[in-house]
Every structure is written in structure tokens, then in C-alpha cells.
Structure 1
Amino acid sequence: MITLNDIKEAKKRLTNTVLTTPLMKAPILSKNLNAEVYLKEDNLQITGSFKIRGAFNKVAMLDDTKRQNGVVAASAGNHAQGLAFAAQHFGCVATIFMPEATPLTKVSGVKSYGANVVLTGENFDEAYAAATKFAKENNKEFIHPFADDAVIAGQGTLTLEILEKIEDIDHIIVPIGGGGLISGIAIAAKSINPNIKITGVVASGARGMKDSFEARLPIDSSSVRTIADGIAVRDVTPKLLEIILEYVDEIVEVSDNETANAILFLLEKHKLMVEGAGAVATAAIMHNKVNIENEKVCAIVSGGNIDVTMLSLIIDKGLVKSFRKMNLIVTLMDKPGALMHLTEIFTTCSANIVQIDYDRNSIKLEFGEAHVTISLETKGEEHQELIRENLKQNGYRYKQI
């Protein structure tokens, strides 16, 4: 059984190596929701994620023989980087098994700490099976990313840091994948003050722990699919579920669209680069999945290792949803001056063209017609309505995409 003392001892091992990350107030969320909302910014950790806490604590507790034999892990990326850092710090070899679709930024991060990387399997669970087999066959210490007492105790140090700053916190909201983070946080919080509410947040595309929590027995997901790859865990570990049933008050879920909104919000309003898993707690607050009125609330921003391609896609979709970008397909006559006349309409409306493509060969077109696919920078919903009205007045057929 993991105790508060285990977590306090873990904090001592992490001192002077693992960062005490900022706990910052979120003024917009606080004002909009009539609460005091704080963000625990563990995306600013040395390896970009809270996972270094548990991995470092575990390796620090190994004896010299086990360290010399080397350590092995399976990870979607963040535990891998945490373990690679810890192994490098203690002078042992780390071999990390990662799903084949792991973002390049996470693979590169692991390799930068000197670890060996093996890409295998379609998800965490398949990588996990390969890693445990390798560790057993080669007499190496397997470091589980969440179902390990030392790892859980390390993650629980987040609670100690929160309560050092805000003793009277009412509510902590935590991402859930395998459950190691919320287990450590909840054990520490409830041991210090049983009245602190603990809410877990899963991705709607990886809701195994939520289903298990509600059924009070392990229910594995048939498949997982979410942009929050750090919490895309298919199978539920009975030990973690037992802890969560005892210490966690509720579990909610957020969609990928809600997570993407939170990523963009944190980037724009808080200047924080946050990955999907790191944004789900904020997403739950933004989209009213939890009742926090008149409370002091802390959302755990658990990681920031987002793939740049994914970030670009999220930003682009976010601009469209917030009426700052407008994508159109306009049909016009394929003749000299037709395109110039179209662009003059956008100039009149003060809309800036950022991308344009001219197609005269589509089989959907009548002879003598062309399609222009165009992206515009716009200044809100009213501005877009003005553009649509001008296109109609000038006789253009168009489709907004």
C-alpha cells in the first residue's frame, strides 16, 4: 500500500534534479466560471511531462546490480523520456519500446538522453507486451509506466507541490490514462485532507478507466483512438482501479474537439505548449464537465510534448471555428479577368488571401467553368457574413468548407 510517507520520501529523492513546476492562476477561466482556477504546469518539466517524477523515483530506489543490468519500459513517449533521463542520471542503459505511431518529437526526446528505442505495435499495450518479454529474456528491470508503487509515489509529489502553494485547495482535476498519476495525486491529497475532491478526465476515445470506474470492475476498451496519445491506454489494471475507486470522486470524459479547443486556449491565453493528454483537465473545465463554482481548483497540465504537425492542424481548425479563417470553393467563368474580379471583392471586404488554388479540370465542372479554392484571414462572424453577402450580390456560386 502506498502511503503519504512514501510520497514525501519520493519528494526528497527528486529534490535538486526534478523541477518544482509553476502553479499559475488562470484568470479567464476563473472569471468565466466563478471559481479560482489554477494550472499546475508540469508540461514545463525537464522532459516536458510529469512522468519524470515516477521514473526517477523508481530508478533511484533500485540497487546497483539492477541498475547495471539495465532498465526497460513501454511508453507512448513521456514515461520513456522520464526513464531515459533517470537512467542517464544514474549511469544505466535504458531500452524503450514505443508504439510505431509515436510522434517523432517524443522518439527524438528519448534518444537525446541516450536510450535505445524499439518501435513496435499499434498501441501502448502491444509495445508493453514486447517490452516485458524483452526484459524477462534479458534479465533487465522492467519499469512500468503506472502500475508500480515507486512510480505512483513519484507522481504523487505533484500534490505536495500544489498544497505548499495553496493549502486550502478544494478540487484537483487530473488526466487519466493508465491511472498512475491520479492514484499518486489522490492518495497524497486525501491523506492530507479527505475533503479535497479528485476528478479524473479520460479521452472519449480511450474511456476504459471511466467505464471500469462506473462498473466497479475492470473493463478494457476494444480500441483506442484519440489525439491525447499520452492517455490512449486500452487495458485497465485492477490494482490501479482499486486505488481509484477508493480515492477518486468522479471521472468525466472529453472529446477530441474539446481537447483541441483547450490546447489552442492554453497556447493563446497562457503561452503554454501542451499535448492532448496535458490539456484534458483544462478541457473538462472549459466545457463544463465538472462543477467548480466557488471552489479553488487546480487542473493538472501534465505534458507538453505535442507533435508539431498535430499542433498545426489544431491551430488551423481552431482559426476556422473562431471565424478567424474562412475556406471557400468558388465557381467562376474560366476567362481572362474573372479571377481578378473575384479577388477585388475580397479586397473590398478587407479580407486577406492566404492561399489560393485554381482548378479548371474537375469532372464536376461544366465546360467554361473553374473552381477557385481560397483561404481568407477574417475578423469574426460578422466579417464572414459580409463576404458571403458580397459573393451572392455578384452572382457567385460558392461553398464554405
Structure 2
Amino acid sequence: MKAKQALSEQAAGHVPGPEDLTIDDVRAAAQRIEGAVVKTPMMHSITLSEITGAEIWLKFENLQFTAAYKERGALNALLHLSEEQMQRGVIAASAGNHSQGLSYHGSRLGVPVTIVMPKTTPTVKVMQTESVGGNVVLEGETFDDAHAHARKLEAERGLTFIHPFDDPHVAAGQGTVALEMLEVKPDLDCLVTPIGGGGLISGMATVARALDPEIEVIGVQAALFPSMFAEFKGEERECGGDTLAEGIAVKRPGEFTRKVIAEKVDDILLVDEPALEKAVSLLLQIEKTVVEGAGAAGLAAVLSNPERFTGKTIGLVLCGGNIDTRLLANVLLRDLARQGRLARLRITLQDRPGALFKVMRLFDEHNVNIIEIYHQRIFTSLPAKGLITDIECEARDAQQVERLVAGLRKSGYKVQMVELN
């Protein structure tokens, strides 16, 4: 009865508040979705703990069927619907993990699911959503356009709109992540949780405050999209840019979730793009797990703020693993470059026979592997007989590259390290 009343209040324009999300709601959601979502493992990371100086516990939500925690909230919301609502179907505006979670469980339950996405959505995301049963409608150039169209179709077709985050039923489902984490590790000092619209952290903070008010709850946002951070701090911040953490790139946080966060979250931190890239790379190299940028935001925050987290026992949610493989490859290669294991050397040569061979001999002497060679003869300010050569190379570490550069310069070559922006 409470669920149907909440749905009717939302439809009538009532904006829920923190009182509409309790630990009992999360526990009920856990019972409701049990067996239909993966109870993902939570494991202690010995190596990440050594790197960060904190005790790191990881919750592997990237191991859900659709590779994201969003299934939990989507399913809980679906199971609150009446029979009539289920028959008519549901609709959402999403180009991310919510669309797949809702489509998958809607299809499993026999509920028609319509997902409105901007026309600019990558084809792979459209295909992923359709592959799990969603009916995708492409409309508009931006997410706001897609959202407006979804609301229009909701009214025209009598569908039920399920918001990706600004809904107590969705947040209650997401909060089951914290229930499972604290079941495994009840003595956590801190939960560090990514924030996009705020559904996940609203559910998790509700659980933490009820079970142990001493647990510190800290949110994390990408520095390019500090929407909830700005609300929390009472600041004006611009949102926009190409962030690796596209799953939390939300310009307007939820009305409901911002109220919960203001009451139950201790702080929100921002992380920059290099920190996100490093976290994604570390999780793959150390934990052998693929995590998207948003899913790595918690680890990025711990790595970026050692003074804040050293010595604490920390729970991190790897909230999603849906990252484009080409993008992942770029992230890994850029991380190798930052470590100095990959380098690009720009060397000025004379354009004559044997010039490149002599340089390559020096690479061989220093046991540095050449990956690619680029010549530039035309677009250069050098004399006509001059030549700029970029050589991409691979070494054991930055020190080995430095010794090679020193050797090249000692042999009379002009060498410049091409820095990674």
C-alpha cells in the first residue's frame, strides 16, 4: 500500500524527501530482488591496501549480468508496479547502465520497456540495450531532449516513468549494495561512493546511518561534472567536458537525492581525469577486473587524498564495468606513458643514408624496444636536408628511458621528450 501511495504521490508532483527512504525500505528491497540480481563478492585488496596506506575492500558490482549495480534499483522499482502498470509498460531516459538494467529485468518480467536516448548516443550502447530487451527511441541531440520526449511519451501512451536515480524505490534498491558490504565487513570506517545523480549514495548513506552512525560516507564526482558537489558546498560550478567517468556525468542532480545527501553524507570530493585513468588501470592490472571510469572514481579519490584516508578501513563500490574496449586500451597505454614505460622521443637528424641506423644502434645498446617511427620532412622549420623523427619506444621504467636520452645527447643528437597532456 505504501509503495502504490508513493507512486501516486510522485505522479501528482510530490517531491519525496529523506523520510521516504529508510533502512526498512532497503531491507524490503533486498528481499524483493533476492535471487534475481547477483550477490556480488566483496574482497580485501592486499596490493591496493599497500599502495594507498588504507585497508581497501572492493564490492564488485561490475560482475552483475549487465555489469552495473543499476539493476538493483531498476528491478526494485519494477516490482512496485501494479499489474496494470506492468502491462502498459515503463519508460526511461538513459544512455547508460540504467537503460540496460531496466530493459533486462523488464524483459525478464514481461514488462515492455521503452528507453529514449539522444541521437548522439554511440551505436554500441543502443545495441546493448536492445540486446537485453529494450525498445530504443532516439530523440534530440542532448539528454535533456531525450528526457523531455520520454515524459511526452509517458503521458501519450500511459507508461510509467522510472527515473535513473531520483526515486526512493530506485535508491532503496541501490542501497542493498551497502547492506551486503556491511554484512561482510561490519567494521568499515568509511564508504567512498561515486555520485552522478545521487541514487547509489542516497541508498548507501541511509543504510550506513541506520546500522552504524560512525561510518563516514563520502561521495566522489568527476571534476568536470561537479553538480552535486556544488549543491553540497553551496557553490557555483560549471559542468561539462569529455570525462572518462561518463556514468556519473550528470549536470542536474536529483531533487530527492540532494535532500538525502545533504542530511546523510559527510563530504563530497572531486577527482580529475588522470586520477580516474590511473584507477581504471590499477584495477585491471592488480585486481584483473574491468571497471569503467565511474566505477573507479572511489579508488581515484582515495589515491588522490592519502592524508584523508590513510589508516582507515574503506569500502569501495566498483559500480560498473561498461567501458568501450578501444577507450580502455587508450587508458592503459596512457598510464604506461605516465609511468615512463612508454615514451615518444623527438630527435633531429640529417636526412642522409645511415642516419636512422646510427640512432637505432643506441636504442639497442640501452635495450629499449622501438615500437613505431615517424618521419617529418615537409612541415618543419628545419633546413631542407633536416629531418625530425619521432620514435615511440618501450622500456622497463622511466630511468631506462632517461639513460637512453642522456646517451643520445652525449652522441650529439638533439632530443626532446614528447610529454603526455
TM-score by length of 1: 0.95
Query: Could you tell me which amino acid in structure 1 is paired with residue 251 of structure 2?
Result: R
Which residue in 1 is equivalent to 2:15?
Answer: none
Identity of aligned residues (%): 38
Question: Are the aligned partners of 1:53 and 1:157 in contact in 2 as well (CA < 8 Å)?
Answer: yes
Matches of 1:244 and 1:198, distance apart in 2: 10
Please give the residue correspondences for 1:29-40 in structure 2 after superposition, counting only pairs within 5 Å: 29-40=48-59
Matches of 2:303 and 2:399, distance apart in 1: 24
- Of the structure 1 ranges 131-140 and 371-380, higher mean CA displacement relative to structure 2 is found in 131-140
Which residue in 2 is equivalent to 1:42?
Answer: 61
Corresponding position: 1:292 with 2:329: no
Deviation at residue 222 of structure 1 after TM alignment: 5.0
Pick one of 262, 274, 293 that aligns with 2:279: 262
Query: Could you tell me which amino acid in structure 1 is paired with residue 137 of structure 2?
Result: V
Corresponding position: 1:80 with 2:99: yes
- Of the structure 1 ranges 156-165 and 328-337, higher mean CA displacement relative to structure 2 is found in 328-337
Q: What do the CA deviations read for 1:167-213 (whole angstroms, capped 9, x no partner)?
A: 22221110000000000011111111111110000110010101100
Pick one of 154, 172, 185 that aligns with 1:135: 154
Matches of 1:158 and 1:230, distance apart in 2: 17
Pick one of 326, 346, 360 that aligns with 2:363: 346
Q: 1:398/1:271 Cα in 2 relative to 1: closer, same or farther (>3 Å)?
A: same
Question: Are the aligned partners of 2:151 and 2:161 in contact in 1 as well (CA < 8 Å)?
Answer: yes
Query: Could you tell me which amino acid in structure 2 is paired with residue 209 of structure 1?
Result: M
Which residue in 2 is equivalent to 1:281?
Answer: 298
Query: Could you tell me which amino acid in structure 1 is paired with residue 56 of structure 2?
Result: V
Deviation at residue 360 of structure 1 after TM alignment: 2.3
Which residue in 2 is equivalent to 1:155?
Answer: 174
Corresponding position: 1:235 with 2:243: no
Matches of 2:61 and 2:128, distance apart in 1: 16
Runs (5+) with no aligned partner, structure 1: none
Corresponding position: 1:251 with 2:251: no
Q: 1:63/1:292 Cα in 2 relative to 1: closer, same or farther (>3 Å)?
A: same
SS at match of 2:315: strand
Size of the aligned set, in residue pairs, is 399
Corresponding position: 1:18 with 2:28: no
Matches of 1:349 and 1:36, distance apart in 2: 40
Corresponding position: 1:321 with 2:338: yes
Deviation at residue 252 of structure 1 after TM alignment: 0.7
TM-score by length of 2: 0.90
Matches of 2:211 and 2:361, distance apart in 1: 66
Pick one of 53, 57, 63 that aligns with 2:82: 63
Question: Are the aligned partners of 1:125 and 1:233 in contact in 2 as well (CA < 8 Å)?
Answer: no
Which residue in 1 is equivalent to 2:46?
Answer: 27
Which residue in 1 is equivalent to 2:73?
Answer: 54
Q: 1:392/1:186 Cα in 2 relative to 1: closer, same or farther (>3 Å)?
A: same
Question: Are the aligned partners of 1:224 and 1:234 in contact in 2 as well (CA < 8 Å)?
Answer: no
Question: Are the aligned partners of 1:227 and 1:256 in contact in 2 as well (CA < 8 Å)?
Answer: yes
Question: Are the aligned partners of 1:124 and 1:233 in contact in 2 as well (CA < 8 Å)?
Answer: no
- Of the structure 1 ranges 69-78 and 15-24, higher mean CA displacement relative to structure 2 is found in 69-78
Question: Are the aligned partners of 1:284 and 1:290 in contact in 2 as well (CA < 8 Å)?
Answer: no
